[in-house]
Amino acid sequence: MVGSGKRSDNSLLQMDTAIRAAFSKVKEEFEEHLTAINENTDEINNVHDHLGELDGKIEKLNARIDTIHMMFQQLIVQTRVSVELSPNEQRIFALLCAHPYVSITDTGIKATMSQEEAEDALTSLADKGIPIVRKMKDGETYLKLDDEFRKLQEKQRIVKVNPAILQQMENKVLNSFFN
Protein backbone atom coordinates (compact mmCIF):
# COMPACT_ATOMS: atom_id res chain seq x y z
CA MET A 1 0.00 0.00 0.00
CA VAL A 2 2.95 2.16 0.44
CA GLY A 3 3.55 2.01 -3.31
CA SER A 4 -0.03 3.01 -4.03
CA GLY A 5 0.34 6.09 -1.82
CA LYS A 6 3.23 7.27 -3.97
CA ARG A 7 1.16 6.74 -7.05
CA SER A 8 -1.71 8.77 -5.67
CA ASP A 9 0.67 11.51 -4.55
CA ASN A 10 2.21 11.45 -7.99
CA SER A 11 -1.16 11.63 -9.73
CA LEU A 12 -2.31 14.37 -7.36
CA LEU A 13 0.85 16.27 -8.13
CA GLN A 14 0.27 15.86 -11.86
CA MET A 15 -3.34 16.97 -11.47
CA ASP A 16 -2.22 19.93 -9.38
CA THR A 17 0.32 20.89 -12.03
CA ALA A 18 -2.25 20.49 -14.83
CA ILE A 19 -4.82 22.58 -12.94
CA ARG A 20 -2.24 25.26 -12.19
CA ALA A 21 -1.22 25.35 -15.86
CA ALA A 22 -4.89 25.61 -16.92
CA PHE A 23 -5.56 28.39 -14.40
CA SER A 24 -2.39 30.17 -15.49
CA LYS A 25 -3.55 30.02 -19.11
CA VAL A 26 -7.04 31.26 -18.14
CA LYS A 27 -5.43 34.07 -16.10
CA GLU A 28 -3.31 35.09 -19.13
CA GLU A 29 -6.39 35.11 -21.36
CA PHE A 30 -8.30 37.19 -18.79
CA GLU A 31 -5.40 39.66 -18.59
CA GLU A 32 -5.27 39.93 -22.40
CA HIS A 33 -9.04 40.43 -22.45
CA LEU A 34 -8.79 43.07 -19.71
CA THR A 35 -6.02 44.88 -21.64
CA ALA A 36 -8.17 44.83 -24.80
CA ILE A 37 -11.15 46.19 -22.82
CA ASN A 38 -8.98 48.98 -21.37
CA GLU A 39 -7.67 49.88 -24.84
CA ASN A 40 -11.20 49.90 -26.25
CA THR A 41 -12.36 52.05 -23.33
CA ASP A 42 -9.56 54.54 -24.03
CA GLU A 43 -10.50 54.58 -27.71
CA ILE A 44 -14.18 55.11 -26.87
CA ASN A 45 -13.25 57.98 -24.56
CA ASN A 46 -11.13 59.57 -27.31
CA VAL A 47 -13.97 59.22 -29.81
CA HIS A 48 -16.37 60.71 -27.25
CA ASP A 49 -14.02 63.67 -26.72
CA HIS A 50 -13.75 64.23 -30.48
CA LEU A 51 -17.54 64.05 -30.85
CA GLY A 52 -17.86 66.65 -28.11
CA GLU A 53 -15.45 68.94 -29.99
CA LEU A 54 -17.40 68.40 -33.23
CA ASP A 55 -20.68 69.19 -31.46
CA GLY A 56 -19.17 72.45 -30.20
CA LYS A 57 -17.98 73.36 -33.68
CA ILE A 58 -21.37 72.50 -35.21
CA GLU A 59 -23.10 74.70 -32.62
CA LYS A 60 -20.77 77.59 -33.51
CA LEU A 61 -21.49 77.06 -37.22
CA ASN A 62 -25.24 77.01 -36.55
CA ALA A 63 -24.93 80.26 -34.60
CA ARG A 64 -23.01 81.85 -37.48
CA ILE A 65 -25.54 80.59 -40.03
CA ASP A 66 -28.35 82.03 -37.91
CA THR A 67 -26.51 85.36 -37.75
CA ILE A 68 -25.98 85.38 -41.52
CA HIS A 69 -29.64 84.46 -42.08
CA MET A 70 -30.78 87.35 -39.86
CA MET A 71 -28.45 89.73 -41.72
CA PHE A 72 -29.92 88.61 -45.05
CA GLN A 73 -33.45 89.09 -43.71
CA GLN A 74 -32.57 92.62 -42.57
CA LEU A 75 -30.93 93.34 -45.92
CA ILE A 76 -34.03 92.13 -47.77
CA VAL A 77 -36.30 94.27 -45.59
CA GLN A 78 -34.07 97.31 -46.14
CA THR A 79 -33.99 96.63 -49.88
CA ARG A 80 -37.77 96.35 -50.03
CA VAL A 81 -38.26 99.60 -48.19
CA SER A 82 -35.67 101.55 -50.17
CA VAL A 83 -36.85 100.66 -53.69
CA GLU A 84 -38.86 103.58 -54.97
CA LEU A 85 -39.38 104.02 -58.69
CA SER A 86 -39.98 107.08 -60.81
CA PRO A 87 -43.05 107.04 -63.08
CA ASN A 88 -40.92 106.02 -66.11
CA GLU A 89 -39.26 103.26 -64.10
CA GLN A 90 -42.69 102.09 -62.94
CA ARG A 91 -43.91 101.90 -66.56
CA ILE A 92 -40.88 99.84 -67.62
CA PHE A 93 -41.17 97.65 -64.52
CA ALA A 94 -44.88 97.04 -65.17
CA LEU A 95 -44.04 96.22 -68.79
CA LEU A 96 -41.43 93.67 -67.70
CA CYS A 97 -43.90 92.18 -65.22
CA ALA A 98 -46.57 91.84 -67.91
CA HIS A 99 -44.42 90.23 -70.63
CA PRO A 100 -42.12 87.22 -70.49
CA TYR A 101 -39.68 88.90 -72.94
CA VAL A 102 -39.69 92.41 -74.43
CA SER A 103 -37.27 93.59 -77.09
CA ILE A 104 -35.22 96.56 -76.03
CA THR A 105 -36.51 98.57 -79.01
CA ASP A 106 -40.14 97.88 -78.02
CA THR A 107 -39.73 99.04 -74.40
CA GLY A 108 -40.04 102.73 -75.25
CA ILE A 109 -42.94 102.18 -77.64
CA LYS A 110 -44.92 99.96 -75.27
CA ALA A 111 -44.24 102.20 -72.27
CA THR A 112 -45.13 105.37 -74.27
CA MET A 113 -41.79 107.10 -73.86
CA SER A 114 -38.76 107.78 -75.99
CA GLN A 115 -36.19 105.06 -76.52
CA GLU A 116 -33.64 107.10 -74.57
CA GLU A 117 -36.02 107.50 -71.60
CA ALA A 118 -36.73 103.76 -71.68
CA GLU A 119 -33.02 102.90 -71.69
CA ASP A 120 -32.37 105.34 -68.83
CA ALA A 121 -35.22 103.76 -66.85
CA LEU A 122 -33.82 100.25 -67.51
CA THR A 123 -30.38 101.33 -66.32
CA SER A 124 -31.88 102.91 -63.24
CA LEU A 125 -33.90 99.76 -62.46
CA ALA A 126 -30.74 97.66 -62.67
CA ASP A 127 -28.91 100.18 -60.45
CA LYS A 128 -31.67 99.84 -57.85
CA GLY A 129 -31.11 96.08 -57.70
CA ILE A 130 -33.98 94.85 -59.84
CA PRO A 131 -32.63 91.80 -61.67
CA ILE A 132 -33.22 92.13 -65.40
CA VAL A 133 -32.14 89.28 -67.64
CA ARG A 134 -30.87 90.15 -71.13
CA LYS A 135 -30.98 87.66 -74.00
CA MET A 136 -29.75 88.10 -77.57
CA LYS A 137 -31.76 86.63 -80.43
CA ASP A 138 -31.32 87.43 -84.12
CA GLY A 139 -29.24 90.50 -83.29
CA GLU A 140 -31.96 91.93 -81.02
CA THR A 141 -31.70 92.26 -77.23
CA TYR A 142 -34.67 90.95 -75.26
CA LEU A 143 -35.33 91.72 -71.62
CA LYS A 144 -37.23 90.02 -68.83
CA LEU A 145 -37.37 90.03 -65.07
CA ASP A 146 -35.41 87.29 -63.32
CA ASP A 147 -37.81 84.35 -62.76
CA GLU A 148 -37.19 84.13 -59.00
CA PHE A 149 -37.66 87.88 -58.60
CA ARG A 150 -40.85 87.75 -60.70
CA LYS A 151 -42.28 85.06 -58.39
CA LEU A 152 -41.28 87.04 -55.32
CA GLN A 153 -42.87 90.18 -56.78
CA GLU A 154 -46.11 88.31 -57.51
CA LYS A 155 -46.29 86.98 -53.95
CA GLN A 156 -45.00 89.90 -51.88
CA ARG A 157 -45.25 92.99 -54.11
CA ILE A 158 -41.74 94.08 -53.17
CA VAL A 159 -41.68 96.91 -55.68
CA LYS A 160 -44.63 99.27 -55.46
CA VAL A 161 -46.17 100.50 -58.70
CA ASN A 162 -48.75 103.27 -58.79
CA PRO A 163 -52.18 101.73 -59.56
CA ALA A 164 -52.84 104.42 -62.20
CA ILE A 165 -49.68 103.43 -64.06
CA LEU A 166 -50.61 99.75 -63.80
CA GLN A 167 -54.04 100.56 -65.24
CA GLN A 168 -52.45 102.50 -68.12
CA MET A 169 -50.14 99.59 -68.93
CA GLU A 170 -53.00 97.05 -68.74
CA ASN A 171 -55.12 99.24 -71.03
CA LYS A 172 -52.22 99.45 -73.53
CA VAL A 173 -51.86 95.66 -73.50
CA LEU A 174 -55.62 95.23 -74.06
CA ASN A 175 -55.68 97.84 -76.81
CA SER A 176 -52.75 96.20 -78.61
CA PHE A 177 -54.51 92.84 -78.33
CA PHE A 178 -57.74 94.09 -79.90
CA ASN A 179 -56.10 96.26 -82.58
Rounded Cα–Cα distance for residues 79 and 77 (Å): 5
- Any bridge partners for residue 135, and if so which? 142
Containing structural domain, residue 145:
87-178
Contact 88, 96 (CB under 8 A): no
- Please give the chain's pLDDT, 179 residues, in tens: 555 667 778 888 899 899 999 999 999 999 999 999 999 999 999 999 999 999 999 999 888 888 887 787 777 655 554 578 999 999 999 999 888 899 988 888 888 889 999 999 999 998 888 899 999 888 898 999 998 888 888 888 888 888 888 888 777 766 665 65
For residue 107, give the CATH number of its domain: 1.10.10.10
Q: Can you give the pTM of this predicted structure?
A: 0.52
Asked if residue 54 and residue 115 are part of one domain, the reply reads: no
